[in-house]
Amino acid sequence: MIECLIPRQNPALGRMLHSLLKGESEETKTPETTYATGIPHHLTLKLVLLGRACAGKRTIAKQIQDQYPSGKVKVFRMDDLIKEVYEYINPKPVSDTASVADKGKKPPPAKGKVEDTGPVDPYAGLDTKDYKELGHQIKKFIGEGDLPPPGTDLTALVTDDSLLVNLFIQKLKLTFPGEPKSEQAKLDEIRANILKEKEILEQLAELEAANAGADPKAKGKAPPAKGKGAGGPSGEEQLRAELEAATKVQPEGWILIDFPRSLEQAKTMERLMNNGFTCMVDRPKDQVQKEFEAWSKFVSPASSIAQGQEIAFNGEPFIYPSATDAYLFLDVPSEECVRRISNRKIDPTTNTVYHLEDNPPPDGDAKLKDRLQDYLGEPD
């Protein structure tokens, strides 16, 4: 790599400088990055949406979510995660509508139904020990009693970045339970699907060849699948359904809104979700990198180019695994954000939110217009 930087004007001087700078040190290799245990890195979508208040983050997230099969892509907001874990460790008691005099006289549940004795645990059967522990740590920042009023920035109250990232990690584990597949297991599955695809395509080719000169009544019937008798599944539709199943990518993933909010939070997210991964700019420089930087000071930018391509450290660009596929920042002008946040109304009866310009309430409903109140909820 350094040989490419030898100045063409004076190669003898360049090689002498190279010899002096190189010394006798050996190259230090960067340890291979491995993923933290249990984090579902196999998901096909891992996206972060950032932007100002009312930039449309939730709207964009919903539009992306609608492009996938129902329920396959989950949308998370850090404020919602904080609220959820806080309420999970502080479940509200089930309201008893019966009067004190009627206590003890509650009629038995209907036949075949189980009596509701408390709030339903959304994570029943899963290990929530770490999730609860994080909830108690977050409670120290939020305080005792009820949550702060709606509109409070809960994420800003929790000043421990590691705590927030770990909360997101635990939410992912509970949302996508099960041990993630290893790299080898995923490769084996891909190979198996490729072989299955090849086998099905061969059967379809045999079917088409047979149909070319077969009785019209027999067209569309495929030969028995390999390893199966004549009574097994057959038919072109069956084969094509199996082919689609073998080649179809199973879409599943998450979208995280409004977090991380700073470079330090992003670095913490990468470090905790990539098992200690450190950004290149924060790593201690090994000897080879120091040599490269020192040597580069003695050459011009023009002589740092070999075969028309820029030379990167070790001759290759830096490509590292990441906790996410992409960070998408919605750069919406402040004036537009103010316009969106203004003139918003809510119907307290149906909790429907309207915007007097973009999404006005229907005309002709006087009662609805009388019910409308200023919307003080969280901005999009």
**Res 362: pLDDT:** 87
pLDDT digits (tens, 9 = 90+) for 113-162: 555 556 788 898 899 999 999 999 999 999 888 888 887 899 999 999 99
Name the band, by pLDDT with cuts 50, 70 and 90, for residue 232. Answer: very low
At a CB cut-off of 8 Å and minimum separation 6, what does 23 contact?
Answer: 287, 291
CA distance from start to end of the chain: 49
At a CB cut-off of 8 Å and minimum separation 6, what does 289 contact?
Answer: 313
Residue written as token pair 């011009």 = 300
Name the band, by pLDDT with cuts 50, 70 and 90, for residue 280. Answer: low
Separation CA 312–CA 322 (nearest Å): 20
Between 105 and 42, the higher pLDDT residue: 42
76 has a pLDDT exceeding 80: yes
Report the DSSP beta bridge partners of residue 73: 253
Using the CB atoms, write b or e for 44-70: b if 16+ within 10 Å.
Answer: ebbbbbbbbbbbbbbebbeebbeeeee
287 closest CA partner among 30, 17, 11? 30
314 has a pLDDT exceeding 60: no
Separation CA 169–CA 175 (nearest Å): 10
Contact 225, 271 (CB under 8 A): no
Q: Which residue intervals of 217-274 are DSSP H helices? A: 236-247, 263-273
Report the DSSP beta bridge partners of residue 46: 254
Determine the Cα angle at 36 with ends 35 and 39, to 5°.
95
Name the band, by pLDDT with cuts 50, 70 and 90, for residue 177. Answer: confident
Contact 171, 275 (CB under 8 A): no
| Summary mean pLDDT of the chain | 76
pLDDT digits (tens, 9 = 90+) for 254-263: 999 999 999 9
Measured CA to CA in angstroms, residue 372 lies from 58, 272, 350, 359 at distances of 23, 45, 10, 13
Separation CA 268–CA 278 (nearest Å): 9
**Res 17: pLDDT:** 60
Separation CA 343–CA 52 (nearest Å): 18
| Domain boundaries of the chain, sorted by first residue | 2-29+278-316, 183-247, 342-380
- Statement: the pTM of the whole predicted model exceeds 0.75: no
208 has a pLDDT exceeding 90: no
